[in-house]
Amino acid sequence: MNRRMVLYMIGQIIKLEAAVLVLPALVALIYREQCLWAILTTAAVALAVGFALTLISRPRSQVVYAREGFVIVALSWLALSAVGALPFFLSGEIPSYVDAFFETVSGFTTTGASILKNVEAMSHGLLFWRSFTHWIGGMGVLVLIMAIVPSVSGRNMHILRAEMPGPVVGKLMPRIRDTAKILYIIYLVMTAVEIVLLLLGGMPLFDSVVHAFGTAGTGGFGIKADSIAGYSPYLQWVIGIFMLLFGVNFNLYYLILIRHAKEAFKSRELWLYVAIVVGATAAISLNIAPLYDGFEETVRTALFQVSSITTTTGYATADFDLWPGLSKGILLVLMFIGGCAGSTAGGLKVSRVQLLLSTVKRDLRRLLHPRSVGVIKMEGKRLDEGAISGASAYFILYIALFAVGCLLLCFEPFGMVTNFSAMTACFNNVGPGFGLVGPAASYAVYSPLSKIILSLAMLFGRLEIYPLLFVLIPSTWTKK
């Protein structure tokens, strides 16, 4: 284990966090809010700790192997959340540090689950920081480090693999740093376009920026008690469509950028993703039609919630907890499926579901024809048995950890619907669930211990289990 490299990278992350805290500090300064001192104090502490770590642990070798990559990613996200919670706690706007940590983890993991009962009472500076954590966490903080820090080795593919969501992660360019830059440029441009479209629809600048951050990171922290419901139909359409766009594999945008659009549109995962959205929207529209006035409102409301849940964003234009059972059942299934691999969305990912279904189909065929040779392909490429068994192993771990999380929440007296949907929403980085954690409620009802459990569930879901799991395994630290 290259411990020096691990500490060095954590130091870089904390220094980066100190730098980005300048933005919410500027917002607090513009609005002349008292939270400014809390943000600046946090930035100073982060800068001091970051410099200390990078100075005392400068590594002799910057090469990162798989084990170091997983550990760096997991510990960096924990450190980022621990420091990022300080502005909420020091300002007194979230008096409990556990609650502040939950809110920050929810932000960085782009979950959108909140303990706030009155979000509109928060200062602009902290509302900005809260939503900005979505934008940072959406593409990945380690990816950002590789894009902007020259001293980080270009050979550290293991960091990219450990942080980017999905069963298969590849390089767009020969150098990892170039790949990271391309991803963030696409991400930044799409965010900027959404901000402009929201401004054109009459949304105030502050609202446009924070909602674009929440959409881009597929996080869903709102700044209004009714989330997006109070905004115009045009603004709801814009946010709904952009949620879907950010749920697409960013590799496809790169292919379109280099004029390989035909190759991008051949993606089976993309078309399965589109089919899921269209099918779910049609079914829910028919089911909720008696609750709304007119075709446009019904389809808009259904599409928005399907977009929000399948991309694990969590914005809402309606209290879907009041919808008929069929619609709620469809949304529950979408929570597990999630968006595309290589996007900012959470969940199992469409490609992994596709791979698991293909594996089941092959095994059923082998039962009938034992001598048949089953070949499984993804995006036209034949997958080896390692990738297939890896997806199956991940699914087993996913179910096991999810079950453990649900059992731990059973100590809370809120009933199966609330506890099951809370773990589902947090583990899949969705945000709102059903019952007491529905879109019109919050997670404030849970005990501090349950909030820590749900925070870990969010981290396990965002990092796709393995990085955090390796940190908890003793052999990771004992082996050289």
Closest by Cα among 268, 264, 265 to 255: 264
Closest by Cα among 97, 111, 110 to 38: 97
Q: Residue 377 phi/psi, 5° resolution?
A: -120, 150
Residue 127 predicted with pLDDT over 90: yes
Mean pLDDT of the chain: 87
CA torsion 472→473→474→478, rounded to 10°? -110
Task: Write the DSSP assignment of 145-199 as a string of letters.
Answer: HHHH-TTS-TT-HHHHHHHS-SS----SSSSHHHHHHHHHHHHHHHHHHHHHHHH
What mean pLDDT do residues 53-64 have?
A: 76
Closest by Cα among 310, 315, 386, 320 to 353: 310
Task: Give residue-wise pLDDT tens across range 384-415.
Answer: 777 778 888 889 999 999 999 999 999 999 98
Residue 378 predicted with pLDDT over 90: no
Residue 61 predicted with pLDDT over 80: no
Residue 152 predicted with pLDDT over 50: no
d(CA 162, CA 332) in angstroms, rounded, equals: 27
Task: Give residue-wise pLDDT tens across range 261-279.
Answer: 888 888 889 999 999 999 9
- Residue whose pair of structure tokens reads 């199956």 in the numeric block: 392
**How would residue 29 be classed by pLDDT, with cut points 50, 70 and 90?**
very high
Q: Residue 204 phi/psi, 5° resolution?
A: -60, 155
Burial of 304 (0-12, 13-18, 19+ CB in 10 A): buried
Distances from the Cα of 457 to the Cα of 347, 384, 397, 441, angstroms: 12, 30, 13, 20
Residue 28 predicted with pLDDT over 90: yes
pLDDT given at position 387? 74
What mean pLDDT do residues 57-81 have?
A: 80
Residue 476 predicted with pLDDT over 90: no
What mean pLDDT do residues 17-42 have?
A: 96
Which of 65-79, 182-196, 212-226 is least confident?
65-79
pTM of the complete model: 0.90
Beta bridge partner(s), residue 382: 377
Distances from the Cα of 283 to the Cα of 165, 286, 308, 323, 365, angstroms: 28, 5, 16, 13, 31
Task: Give residue-wise pLDDT tens across range 409-437.
Answer: 999 999 899 999 999 999 999 999 999 99
Residue 439 predicted with pLDDT over 70: yes
Beta bridge partner(s), residue 378: 381
Task: Give residue-wise pLDDT tens across range 321-345.
Answer: 999 999 999 999 999 999 998 888 8
Q: Who wins on pLDDT, 475 or 16?
A: 16
Instruction: Write down how long the chain is.
Output: 480
**How would residue 359 be classed by pLDDT, with cut points 50, 70 and 90?**
confident
- Look up residue 234 and give its two tokens: 């045009």
Q: Under a CB-based contact definition with an 8 Å cutoff, are residues 391 and 355 in contact?
A: yes
Coil vs helix vs strand at 378: strand
Q: Who wins on pLDDT, 231 or 63?
A: 231
